[in-house]
Structure 1
Amino acid sequence: MEKLIKKYNKPDSILVISSYPEKGVLYSGKVCAVGGFAKNTIRSVKKYLARKGQKRKIIVLTVTTGQEEIYVEDGILVIRIFERNNVLSYLSIFKTVRKFNKVKDTLVEFEFASFGDTKTAGFFPLTLMFLRLLEKNITLVLHQVTPSLDELWGHVGFKKNSLKLYFFNLIIKFFYFALTLFPQKIVVLEEIFKQRLAGLTDINKVTVIPHGVDKKVRKISKNSARAKLGIKKDEFVLLYFGYLTWYKGADWIIKNASENIPKTRKKKVKLIIAGGESFTQKNKPHYRDLLVKIHNFTRNNKNISITGFVEEKNIPLYFSACDLVVFPYRTVISSSGPLSLAFSFGKPLLMSSAFKDYFLSSDFSLALNENGLCEDDILFTMGEKNLFNIVKNIDKRKLAKLASFSINVAKKRSFTVLGKGYYDLISSKIESPVTSPVKLFRWLKLASFSN
């Protein structure tokens, strides 16, 4: 290890702290979804540097997937030292960071579930404080911006409008304040998430870089994919892709499909739920109850199938076989990875009205205009029949326009295009003074009255 540290501990190296998939894997079931995003981002930065004829070494400190290990993949040094749900593992990160004392540019990817449960995540701001004390040039990518749990009560297992929910809203506001206190630069993935941070941090250090789209996915023909999955040519296939979670509306679409698919007589509609239990919630009692509810809806229903976790090699099968990808989210707390994949495959898609604020991002609204669409063409309300009324009446012309929208967004959000933006931001030196204690106490006083 000492030889590798000496080789990678250079002033122009980049240090990354993030969830990260296993060697040879991009979309993994062993780490949270941020892992694939981080790997794609790092690859895009490396490719950008290669086009410029430059080389900078990259070190990734990440979570274990069974045991601690150190290896080099595609020229990137990967050090797996953090055990999820173990607060003491932060000490391993601190110790390892100090060994790379010459490295200043640091990229940190954060999602609540990246490093473990609520207690473990609660200590993460200390990591950023430690990095700042070591005079690191920190770029923090916030994958979730949800300073209120009011629309997430079902996801976290709280009662709606409860005192417990009110209490945790105060805590999460303070957490975001602490989380954004030390980094000199912050990245969020949609314009709406930047707006949500207003009042919690210095908004001037927040940059919007949209969720990248992987344009190098393997595509196969629709007929071939359907043959392998046993789907008939005359079936109209709706695809829900991702973990079975409350906030993504997995239970909602399954319930509504079981009630409304039999009524869409002109189309032989089939719903495929391409995903399994949540990697981060699977051991929580309220989540186990949700899974029971979901499976009760699908019992003996030939029109709905649940695949379980989809391995990376099979992702192209489901996207290629479907006619329409649907996103029945109750609320949006982060930029959607499955939505990015729908763009990758250029698929027609419909989104719940929870995505309305996505159109604050200029590339999203521009793609709509360029394809002669409006928000109402792509959004549906969470009424009992609204989605399936759209499905019942949708025609080939509308599907073609929706597919064109996806292809258009994919071009604008390609990881290849975004690589330069990430590199420029990571490398930039911005002086950002840490908020004074006086400002902190003033903020806490205001936050306590804002709920």
Structure 2
Amino acid sequence: MKLAIVTAYPPSKVTLNEYAYHLVKHFRQHTEVTELILLTDISPQDADTNFEESGCPITVKQCWKFNSYTNLFSVMKAIKQTKPDAILFNLQFMKFGDKKIAAALGLLLPKRCVARKIPTIVLLHNIMEQVDLESSGFTKNKILQKIYNGIGTMLTRFILSADTVTVTIDKYVHILNAKYKSKNVVQIPHGTFEIPDEPSYILPKGPLQIMTFGKFGTYKKVEIMIEAVEKIRKRTDANLEIVIAGTDNPNVIGYLQSVQEKYTHVPQLTFTGYVEESDVPRIFGESAMVVFPYTSTTGSSGVLHQAGSYGKAVVMPDLGDLSLLVKDEGYKGEFFDSTSVDSLADAIEKIVLNAEYRTELGKTNYQAATALPMSKITKMYLDQFEAIRQKRK
């Protein structure tokens, strides 16, 4: 099978690029896949495709740009040139741009592929019915929110014209089936990127690192975490370092710079900037815990799965998809009220002051993460493509 994947890809800064990297890494190791075709936003020279593991060849085709109005045509042209046997779209609603028209035009691609009789699966990481438009950076205007929800409903119908739509959370299946009367939506879990050997759970000497990881500025706000750690410092003698690993959300460029300027007085506050793939194990390995300073959620959390794979305790808001993941996949952590600095401080402190409890959480999360490696997840997608093939027969 020549399998094409339409996605952002490292070192692209567009969302879901890291997930694509691990999809590619594991798809190419399945014997059913004879060639992988990356229909992506970066050049073949830049694409990070040097894997240690053996596998099928990879063809990289740069054929779309973030916020371009011609992506619909340029991607279809690339598909015509490469002639894949099947196509997987790695999508969320702002994958092709943060300008609304550009984003919407890109989401018409799956329907075009089905019209060309190409077996098509859409991996949809979020659904509009579960997105808080205000906190996610779309708009605060209530009238515009209704308009965007209407557009989102229309675009979801286009996406659902794919042969199969996969979502990472079981609740999403029920929401889509109930609203759109769909019969082609299935759950395939997010999966865990890497499954390293079980860690020793012994931290490096020095301050305990309280780390958060991601793209910040919309519904991921780091001020609450900084202020919570400051409260803990005042009431305990714990030696703590705050590590903010990642970059701005594309909708709020300059956010982290403004935070850095606001909290120049806070000691042991580190901003790592963009984290290269090769540095991810070190960033997680050195951390005592991973904090999720979110005000809402927009899909399954790759960071939670990463934290689990490195055996880390986590501190999460008790809301939305994170709560569902904990229940569905067996993760465990301390929960906090997403609007309360005091609540977050209490949650972090429980883990900071109790090494035994911290290790217990880390071990539980490692076991949850190792149950769903990406090798198993990619095999599920191949099984879905085979089911499509059999159905068409």
- TM-score scaled by structure 2? 0.86
SS of structure 1 residue aligned to 2:356 = helix
Alpha-carbon distance in structure 2 between the residues aligned to 1:426 and 1:120: 29
Q: What residue in structure 1 maps to residue 37 of structure 2?
A: 59
Alpha-carbon distance in structure 2 between the residues aligned to 1:322 and 1:76: 34
RMSD: 3.1
SS of structure 2 residue aligned to 1:59 = strand
Q: CA deviation at 1:183?
A: 0.3
Q: Which structure has the bigger radius of gyration? A: 1
Change (3 A) 1:168 1:100: same
Q: Which amino acid aligns with 1:389?
A: D
Residue 251 of structure 2 corresponds to residue 273 of structure 1: no
SS of structure 1 residue aligned to 2:9 = coil
Calculate percent identity across the aligned residue pairs. Answer: 20
Give unmatched runs, 5+ long, in structure 2: none
Alpha-carbon distance in structure 2 between the residues aligned to 1:359 and 1:148: 12
Residue 96 of structure 2 corresponds to residue 115 of structure 1: yes
What are the Cα deviations for residues 3-34 of structure 1, in whole angstroms up to 9, with x where unaligned?
Answer: xxxxxxxxx3222222222xxxxxx3x23242
User: Aligned runs of 1:73-84 on 2, under 5 Å?
Assistant: 75-84=57-66
Q: Which amino acid aligns with 2:39?
A: L
Change (3 A) 1:72 1:353: closer
Q: What residue in structure 2 maps to residue 19 of structure 1?
A: 8
Q: CA deviation at 1:333?
A: 0.5
Q: CA deviation at 1:90?
A: 2.5
Q: CA deviation at 1:157?
A: 5.4
Q: Which amino acid aligns with 2:136?
A: H
Q: Which amino acid aligns with 2:36?
A: I
Residue 114 of structure 2 corresponds to residue 132 of structure 1: yes
- Count residues in correspondence: 383
Q: What residue in structure 1 maps to residue 164 of structure 2?
A: 185
Change (3 A) 1:337 1:209: same
Decide which moves more: 319-328 or 303-312.
303-312
Change (3 A) 1:45 1:281: same
Q: CA deviation at 1:342?
A: 0.7
Q: CA deviation at 1:311?
A: 2.1
Q: Which of these residues, 143, 149, 157, is aligned with residue 163 of structure 1? A: 143
CA contact (8 A) 1:267 1:392 kept: no
Alpha-carbon distance in structure 2 between the residues aligned to 1:357 and 1:202: 26
Q: Which of these residues, 349, 355, 372, is aligned with residue 392 of structure 1? A: 349
- TM-score scaled by structure 1? 0.75
Q: What residue in structure 1 maps to residue 124 of structure 2?
A: 142
CA contact (8 A) 1:173 1:200 kept: no
What are the Cα deviations for residues 403-436 of structure 1, in whole angstroms up to 9, with x where unaligned?
Answer: 1121111111211222321211122227999xxx
Q: CA deviation at 1:87?
A: 1.5
Q: CA deviation at 1:251?
A: 3.2
Q: Which has the higher contact order (CA 8 A, sep 6+)?
A: 1
Alpha-carbon distance in structure 1 between the residues aligned to 2:189 and 2:121: 15
Change (3 A) 1:217 1:35: farther
Give unmatched runs, 5+ long, in structure 1: 1-11, 22-27, 227-232, 434-451
Change (3 A) 1:343 1:32: farther
What are the Cα deviations for residues 228-262 of structure 1, in whole angstroms up to 9, with x where unaligned?
Answer: xxxxx35232111112232123233234434x133
Alpha-carbon distance in structure 2 between the residues aligned to 1:378 and 1:347: 12
Moved over 6 A (4+): 66-69, 218-223, 430-433
Q: What residue in structure 2 maps to residue 379 of structure 1?
A: 335
SS of structure 1 residue aligned to 2:274 = coil
CA contact (8 A) 1:17 1:60 kept: yes
Q: Which of these residues, 188, 196, 208, is aligned with residue 209 of structure 1? A: 188
What are the Cα deviations for residues 57-107 of structure 1, in whole angstroms up to 9, with x where unaligned?
Answer: 2222111359999x9986111111212221113222112212344x43221
